[in-house]
Amino acid sequence: MSQIASSEELRREYDLRFSAMQEYRAQVWKVLTGSFFQKFIPETAAVLDLGCGWGEFINQIRAGAKYGMDLNPASRSKLASGVTFFEQDCSARWPLEDASLDVVFTSNFFEHLLNKEMLRATISEAHRCLRHGGKIIALGPNIRFLAGTYWDFWDHHVALTDRSLSELLRLAGFRIERCYPRFLPYTMAQGSRPPLAFIRMYLKIPLVWPVLGRQFLVIGEK
């Protein structure tokens, strides 16, 4: 096996963690996209979902052009017909022209990269492909508020906080537009299924985010 997990290993990991909750996860992301993330993404935008998984975000966001990138071959069959899929290592050059994207979105993905060099190369590609004024929207577990729990997943490699990711984005040429150290609770991979009405209410009350949030949300602008 190469340094990067094999396609079959990725497929098994997704199935183990998410197959029993696939329908619920899709419903959650319908709420997240419609009630929160859509306001940052014009409906005419060209959007890349980095580490798109089974397409919970990119299938439901409204956009003019939609792309997904992942090494899991099962992603292809899960994406909607209007989504162009790139099955590749995200730290290699992306098959997109310079300044061809309006938004790069990623959720719970950067921690799965093998090292910081891969992350730096990935951020560099995002910067190259985004237009002036384009945004990178990154959601992920904040190790400042998780400690040992962060390592409960076999394929977590890079430990990040809102501060370290913001610093990397600045070094790559982004301006930090928004930074929430505590945004969403940690994970849906361990069986928790809050009612969708609770999630809608949660998104409307930022005062509770510092209490329950364990994931950062960082938005950088090129």
Mean pLDDT of successive 10-residue stretches along the chain, which has 222 residues: 53 57 88 97 98 95 98 92 96 98 97 96 98 98 92 90 98 98 80 86 96 97 98
pLDDT at 76: 93
**Strand extents, DSSP E, 25-129:** 46-50, 65-69, 83-86, 101-107
Q: Where are the alpha helices (DSSP H) in the chain?
A: 7-18, 22-35, 75-78, 116-129, 162-171, 196-204, 209-212
What is the reported pLDDT for 12? 61
Q: What is the pLDDT of residue 147?
A: 80
Strand 175-180 versus strand 130-141 pairing type: unpaired
pLDDT at 158: 96
**Domain-located, residue 2:** no
Residue-number span of the structural domain to which 43 is assigned: 7-221
Looking at residue 39, its pLDDT comes to 96
As for how many domains the chain has, the answer is 1
The pLDDT score that the predictor gives to residue 3 is: 44
Residue 30 lies in a domain: yes
Determine, yes or no, domain membership for 121. yes
Q: Residue 216: which CATH number?
A: 3.40.50.150
Q: Do the domain assignments include residue 82?
A: yes
Q: How high is the pLDDT of residue 2?
A: 36
Which residue from 93, 81, 184 is spatially nearest to 137, judged by alpha carbons?
184
What integer pLDDT is reported at residue 15 of this predicted model?
Answer: 53
67/82 Cα distance (integer angstroms): 9
